[in-house]
């Protein structure tokens, strides 16, 4: 059997490449040679020593949790209609592995399909195998490796499209990693009036401004909640939480949102996180959690994201601050973990 490389997380801050079997094509799948793989903030929970595998951390140990891909189709099974070898694609794994028949799939909520069967993220590898559902051929203006950033960008896109902005909202985004920066940009695209972002590092502040934030508050300088509230008198209509981990941002969000406002939770948590329920109930806050993407109206969130990226309205390519060869995957994780070194998005390239 042909072999390929796969990253394995052996323990906190220990990662190495091993040889595994290369996936083989079958009638209903394609084999994609990866050209870009994003290191996700969620990959860092392991890296930093979180226990695994837990419900909080569903990724399997081989593969090290990689799940953001741009690549080229190299083989297509005999039942494949839309794709052929040579096609450059972005990968929506949730759509690709969904059943396509249940009420959730029928209504475009591929991410919560209960009939997915075994959902395994392939990881940081040379080749991946998927059904053609959820694979998107890239327009010429998007380089193949850069398509890896479409997956993390599609998450805030999906949340905001699902929430449905009506125009003029005052939006606060907590955190300015890729998800936070894109959330700010997409809120503006969908008609938000004022967007306030909290950022910890210089590059986060710079990109948040470049991507449309009206105000950036440095979360390290004094009381972030007080600073934010000074820019949204009476509270924000929408607060988008993108930090997770063990931060107190969910409670902060509940403080910042206005009565009957909405808190959108995009962060992934290592610990059970607390909020002040009395404060929340008196304000009648709506909480909305979002993980994956799907379809709103006739367009999927991936299509929307790809269109926005290709047209230049959402120049996601700019957020790729580092490209690291797969052979140096340890460095890719170190760069993603230590934001003082300037990273926004680190892309691993075979």
Shortest Cβ 116–Zn ion spacing (Å): 7
Shortest Cβ 1–Zn ion spacing (Å): 29
Q: Which is nearer to Zn ion, 70 or 261 (CB)?
A: 70
Q: Which is nearer to Zn ion, 204 or 255 (CB)?
A: 204
Shortest Cβ 215–Zn ion spacing (Å): 27
- State the Cα–Cα distance between residues 200 and 176, nearest whole angstrom: 7
Q: Which is nearer to Zn ion, 67 or 194 (CB)?
A: 67
Q: Which is nearer to Zn ion, 67 or 161 (CB)?
A: 67
- State the Cα–Cα distance between residues 29 and 244, nearest whole angstrom: 35
Residues that bind Zn ion (CB under 5 A): 40, 42, 98-99, 102, 105, 113, 115
Question: Which residues are registered as beta bridge partners of 77?
Answer: none
Shortest Cβ 67–Zn ion spacing (Å): 6
Q: Which is nearer to Zn ion, 100 or 342 (CB)?
A: 100
CA distances from 233 to 64, 175, 194, 258, 271 (A): 44, 20, 12, 9, 31
CA distances from 81 to 29, 87, 102, 132, 134 (A): 10, 12, 22, 8, 13
Q: Measuring CA to CA, which residue among 123, 103, 42, 35 is closest to residue 74?
A: 35
Q: Which is nearer to Zn ion, 40 or 239 (CB)?
A: 40
The residues near 60 (Cβ < 8 Å, ≥ 6 apart) are 53, 120, 121, 123
CA distances from 211 to 24, 73, 197, 319 (A): 41, 32, 11, 10
SS3 123: coil
Shortest Cβ 173–Zn ion spacing (Å): 17
- State the Cα–Cα distance between residues 62 and 22, nearest whole angstrom: 13
The sign of the dihedral angle between the CA atoms of 201, 206, 208, 213 is positive
Structure tokens at 1: 């059997």
Tell me the backbone φ, ψ of residue 6, rounded to 5 degrees.
Answer: -145, 135
Q: Which is nearer to Zn ion, 97 or 255 (CB)?
A: 97
**How would you classify the pairing of strands 30-38 and 14-21?**
unpaired
Shortest Cβ 54–Zn ion spacing (Å): 17
Q: Measuring CA to CA, which residue among 305, 311, 306, 320 is closest to residue 159?
A: 305
Q: Measuring CA to CA, which residue among 225, 291, 287 is closest to residue 261?
A: 287
Q: Which is nearer to Zn ion, 25 or 102 (CB)?
A: 102
């Amino acid at each position: 059997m042909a072999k390929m490389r796969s990253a394995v997380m052996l323990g906190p801050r220990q990662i190495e490449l091993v040889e595994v079997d290369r996936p083989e094509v079958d009638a209903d799948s394609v084999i994609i040679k990866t050209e870009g793989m994003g290191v996700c903030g969620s990959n860092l929970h392991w890296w930093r020593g979180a226990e695994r595998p837990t419900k909080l951390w569903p990724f399997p140990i081989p593969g090290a949790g990689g799940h953001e891909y741009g690549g080229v189709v190299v083989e297509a099974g005999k039942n494949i209609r839309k794709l052929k070898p040579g096609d450059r694609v972005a990968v929506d794994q949730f759509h690709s592995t969904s059943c396509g028949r249940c009420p959730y799939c029928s209504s475009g909520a591929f991410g919560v399909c209960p009939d997915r069967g075994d959902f395994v993220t392939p990881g940081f590898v040379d080749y991946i195998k998927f059904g053609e559902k959820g694979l998107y051929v890239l327009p010429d203006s998007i380089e193949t490796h850069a398509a890896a950033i479409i997956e993390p960008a599609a998450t805030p896109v999906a949340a905001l499209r699902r929430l449905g902005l009506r125009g003029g909202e005052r939006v606060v985004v907590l955190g300015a990693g890729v998800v936070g920066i894109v959330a700010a940009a997409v809120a503006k695209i969908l008609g938000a009036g004022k967007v306030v972002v909290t950022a910890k590092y210089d590059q986060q502040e710079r990109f948040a401004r470049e991507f449309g934030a009206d105000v950036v508050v440095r979360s390290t300088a004094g009381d972030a909640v007080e600073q934010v509230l000074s820019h949204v008198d009476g509270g924000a209509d929408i607060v988008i939480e993108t930090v997770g981990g063990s931060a107190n941002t969910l409670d902060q969000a509940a403080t910042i949102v206005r009565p009957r406002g909405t808190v959108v939770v995009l962060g992934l948590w290592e610990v059970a996180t607390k909020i002040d329920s009395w404060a929340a109930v008196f304000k009648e806050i709506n909480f909305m959690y979002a993980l994956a993407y799907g379809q709103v109206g006739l367009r999927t969130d991936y299509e929307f994201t790809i269109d926005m990226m290709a047209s230049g309205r959402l120049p996601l390519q700019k957020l790729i601050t580092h490209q690291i060869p797969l052979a140096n995957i340890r460095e890719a994780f170190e760069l993603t973990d230590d934001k003082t070194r300037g990273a926004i998005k680190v892309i691993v390239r075979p």
